[in-house]
Amino acid sequence: MKTENIWKKYKDKKPIFDFCDGYKEFMSLCKTERECTDEIIKQAESAGFCNLEKVIEEGTRLKPGDKVYANNMGKALALFVIGQEPIEKGMRILGAHIDSPRLDLKQNPLYEEGEQALLDTHYYGGVKKYQWVTLPMALHGVAVKKDGTTVKVVLGEDPKDPVVGITDLLIHLSAKQLEKNAKEVIEGEKLNVLVGSIPLQDEETEPVKAQILCILKEKYQIEEEDFLSAELEVVPAGPARDFGLDRSMVMAYGHDDRVCAYPSYKAIEATGQVKYTSVCLLVDKEEIGSVGATGMESKFFENTVAEVMHASGAYNELLLRRALKNSQMLSSDVSAAFDPNYPEVMEKNNAAYLGHGLTFNKYTGSRGKSGSNDANPEYIAKLRRIMEENNVSFQTAELGKVDVGGGGTIAYILARYDMEVIDSGVAVLNMHAPWEIASKADIYEAFLGYQAFLKSE
């Protein structure tokens, strides 16, 4: 089965470029799960979504066509458009994650060594550590002060801002380093971010660190102790950009998995009256195993569905079980795109290609499909019909050749409710590198595919 390059079907390419301009703006602004949550809530509110907490508080009865969202600790969220059928008949769920690989500051990060001030980090998610050095980096996140006030930090994005970053050994002195295995060329404990070198006047002990503390205090009202209750993430600095002479691709930090999260949100934003309740679920912590209160393993989604059913006037435990069981889901995450530099890791008949549309992965996992959801063919057949009827182009793929490696997603967690789930998404190059690459045509096609799915019966 050969799939077509979908650029050819678009005589007018403007809708693709326009949609991706919005995506680039989103990606330039949103580099943490908190920033994604804030921005999507902002967009959703102006598109008519109401906070579910307010609906509960005011005792409003939800009716078909109503739009609500639930915010999970500012780091994950679920959006709903109430369908004409009772929710127990099932939902159409789009799921994606909004956390991305990065370097988190440790709780006691700031120190001085060799008259330089540095921030100690712990990497988050799977990274090739050698890719994260000698790049302009930005600092994004929050520090929560003892009195409960939250200070937001974004440093390194405004062209007038300074940037920070991690140094690497000069080639002249690297003979020994270059003999090391690539895994150890840059060690985790060497991912220390250089942030300053001016000593504070008249300060005897650690004057460079003292100077940085003065700047933090002045600019952000942060004391050294406030690092204890902070989530500060070191991420690549700078905006998402067009990639390629033909501008056919986007290079950005965090395509994994905002390249699925953004079109998923845009699809539910565009949803009007639907038969089955539409859901867009955007979760945190996927890159570290979906654990924690804001990850997919948490009861947040189940609890929220219970609340939405209650607000719709039809909740009991059995109806909730039925609602989950009768649902269908596209669990969207990035796929590995075929890379002409590394054809040896792909089996070419079952690889995802840039510009070939939305990707469906029947299975992910590793070794003997271990950890995979492995979607049902009955469900895949239905999705083939939906995509064909809506003129959406798709391809099927696996995550690399058998026994080369593999990976997991959130699909298996939703599948626990006995609902139909398949892995889908957008193919990317450079997955988990500081700057990843995706095809604009695929991003747009994902948006169309998600819309078609939400409307499906």
**Sign of the C-alpha dihedral, residues 231, 235, 237, 238?**
negative
Q: Closest approach of Cβ 110 to Mn ion, in Å? A: 29
Longest dimension (CA), the chain: 74
Residues paired with 138 in a beta bridge:
235
Q: Which is nearer to Mn ion, 256 or 269 (CB)?
A: 256
How many Cα neighbours within 13 Å face the side chain of 22?
A: 15
Q: Closest approach of Cβ 264 to Mn ion, in Å? A: 13
257 binds Mn ion per the rule CB under 5 A: yes
Q: Which is nearer to Mn ion, 33 or 256 (CB)?
A: 256
Among 66, 206, 256, 442, binds Mn ion (CB under 5 A): 256
Stretch that binds Mn ion, among 155-163, 208-216, 313-321, 329-337 (CB under 5 A): 329-337
Stretch that binds Mn ion, among 35-43, 249-257, 352-360, 413-421 (CB under 5 A): 249-257
333 binds Mn ion per the rule CB under 5 A: yes
Give the Cα separation of 397 and 403 in Å (integer): 15
Q: Closest approach of Cβ 283 to Mn ion, in Å? A: 11
Q: Which is nearer to Mn ion, 16 or 336 (CB)?
A: 336
Give the Cα separation of 388 and 219 in Å (integer): 55
Stretch that binds Mn ion, among 2-10, 13-21, 152-160, 248-256 (CB under 5 A): 248-256
- Say if residues 321 and 313 touch (Cβ distance below 8 Å): no
Q: Which is nearer to Mn ion, 23 or 276 (CB)?
A: 23
Stretch that binds Mn ion, among 5-13, 145-153, 326-334, 348-356 (CB under 5 A): 326-334
| Residue 224 in tokens | 């050294």
Which x/- pattern over 375-404 shows residues binding Mn ion (rule: CB under 5 A)? ------------------------------
Q: Which is nearer to Mn ion, 276 or 360 (CB)?
A: 360
Cα→Cα distances 262→125, 168, 335, Å: 20, 34, 16
423 binds Mn ion per the rule CB under 5 A: no
- Residues contacting residue 29 through CB under 8 Å, at least 6 positions apart: 35, 39
- Say if residues 356 and 392 touch (Cβ distance below 8 Å): no
How many residues of this chain bind Mn ion (CB under 5 A)? 3
- Residues contacting residue 289 through CB under 8 Å, at least 6 positions apart: 295, 297
Q: Closest approach of Cβ 126 to Mn ion, in Å? A: 7
Stretch that binds Mn ion, among 112-120, 193-201, 257-265, 434-442 (CB under 5 A): 257-265
Give the Cα separation of 347 and 57 in Å (integer): 54
Q: Closest approach of Cβ 424 to Mn ion, in Å? A: 12
Residues paired with 277 in a beta bridge:
91
Q: Which of residues 181-210 bind Mn ion (CB under 5 A)?
A: none
| Residue 414 in tokens | 């939703």
Residues comprising the chain, all counted: 457
Q: Closest approach of Cβ 406 to Mn ion, in Å? A: 12
Q: Closest approach of Cβ 229 to Mn ion, in Å? A: 27
Select from 385, 373, 384 the least CA-distant residue to 423: 373
Strand, helix or coil at 231? Answer: strand
Which x/- pattern over 213-232 shows residues binding Mn ion (rule: CB under 5 A)? --------------------
Q: Which is nearer to Mn ion, 34 or 209 (CB)?
A: 34
Report the helix count and the strand count for the chain, using DSSP H and E.
11, 22
- Residues contacting residue 375 through CB under 8 Å, at least 6 positions apart: 360, 362, 363, 411, 420, 421, 422, 423
Residues paired with 68 in a beta bridge:
50, 80
Q: Closest approach of Cβ 423 to Mn ion, in Å? A: 10
Stretch that binds Mn ion, among 182-190, 310-318, 331-339, 344-352 (CB under 5 A): 331-339
- Residues contacting residue 392 through CB under 8 Å, at least 6 positions apart: 357, 358, 386, 445, 448, 449, 452
Q: Which is nearer to Mn ion, 256 or 423 (CB)?
A: 256
Stretch that binds Mn ion, among 158-166, 179-187, 253-261, 355-363 (CB under 5 A): 253-261
Interacting residues with Mn ion (CB under 5 A): 256-257, 333
